[in-house]
């Protein structure tokens, strides 16, 4: 049985992460994938997940549920080159980090870097989607989600879209 949003949110609170799903930003530790500090990919994903948007179905189950949060963070961890997508470029980077016993290669989160991390890497590559920042923002903007109100005027409109597009040009 899959956990519902309420159950997963309760687990998040129990873990001491945050009282607001949109405040959790753990994978942007290195600054990659962030357009605006307040608009990280993690924040967009969690807003899309909380709204039940299809773009947040990262485990490809056809449901937006608690397992999608786990799948998202596993996919984000497997994005070794931090370009926001899972692809062939991540494979070489994973093996280089694995050989060096880099803690970033600990994809099964057991505290060590070993063969199980290679399995976790390829499972993430084959089984999970890592939605792009563009796809997440588009879904939020199209549904009028408050996270897409980038200028804070209470209206989701072309001005917010322009801020989003402009920030991509300046953050590269």
> Does the pTM of the predicted model rise above 0.95?
no
pLDDT the model gives residue 170: 56
Max mean pLDDT among 2-16, 18-32, 139-153 falls in 139-153
* Termini Cα distance of the chain: 42
Q: Is residue 133, in this structure, part of any structural domain at all?
A: yes
Q: Is residue 118, in this structure, part of any structural domain at all?
A: no
Phi/psi zone of residue 93: left (φ > 0), alpha (ψ -120 to 50 degrees), beta?
Answer: alpha
Query: Which of 28-37, 75-84, 129-138, 144-153 shows the lowest mean pLDDT across its residues?
Result: 28-37
Q: Is residue 100, in this structure, part of any structural domain at all?
A: no
pLDDT the model gives residue 94: 96
Q: Is residue 119, in this structure, part of any structural domain at all?
A: no
Rounded Cα–Cα distance for residues 124 and 168 (Å):
27
Average pLDDT value over all residues in the chain: 80
Burial class (CB in 10 A: 0-12, 13-18, 19+), 91: middle
Q: Is residue 104, in this structure, part of any structural domain at all?
A: no
**For 109-113, which contacts have Cβ atoms below 8 Å and span 24 or more sequence positions?**
none
Q: Is residue 75, in this structure, part of any structural domain at all?
A: yes
Q: Please give the distance of CA 52 from its chain centroid, rounded to a whole number.
A: 15
Q: Based on the structure, what is the number of domains in the chain?
A: 1
Range(s) of the domain holding residue 11: 5-86+128-171
Q: Is residue 28, in this structure, part of any structural domain at all?
A: yes
Q: Determine what percent of the chain is predicted with pLDDT higher than 70.
A: 75
pLDDT the model gives residue 12: 42
Statement: residue 4 has pLDDT above 80 = no
Per-residue pLDDT tens digits for 124-140: 999 999 999 999 999 99
* Arithmetic mean of pLDDT, 100-107: 95
Q: 102 falls in which pLDDT band (50, 70, 90)?
A: very high
Q: Is residue 101, in this structure, part of any structural domain at all?
A: no
Greatest alpha-carbon pair distance for the chain in Å reads: 51
pLDDT the model gives residue 169: 65
């Amino acid at each position: 049985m899959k956990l519902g949003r309420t159950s997963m949110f309760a687990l998040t609170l129990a873990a001491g992460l945050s009282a607001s799903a949109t405040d959790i930003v753990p994978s942007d530790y290195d600054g990659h994938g962030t357009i605006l500090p307040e608009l990280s990919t993690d924040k967009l994903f969690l807003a899309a997940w909380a709204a039940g948007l299809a773009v947040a179905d990262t485990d490809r189950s056809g449901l937006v549920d608690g397992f999608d949060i786990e799948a998202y963070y596993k996919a984000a961890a497997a994005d070794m080159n931090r370009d926001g997508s899972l692809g062939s470029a991540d494979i070489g980077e994973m093996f280089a980090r694995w050989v060096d016993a880099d803690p970033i290669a600990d994809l099964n989160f057991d505290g060590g870097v070993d063969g199980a991390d290679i399995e976790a890497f390829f499972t993430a590559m084959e089984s999970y989607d890592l939605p792009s920042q563009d796809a997440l923002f588009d879904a939020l903007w199209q549904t009028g989600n408050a996270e897409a109100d980038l200028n804070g005027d209470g209206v989701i409109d072309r001005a917010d879209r322009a801020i989003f597009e402009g920030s991509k040009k300046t953050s590269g």
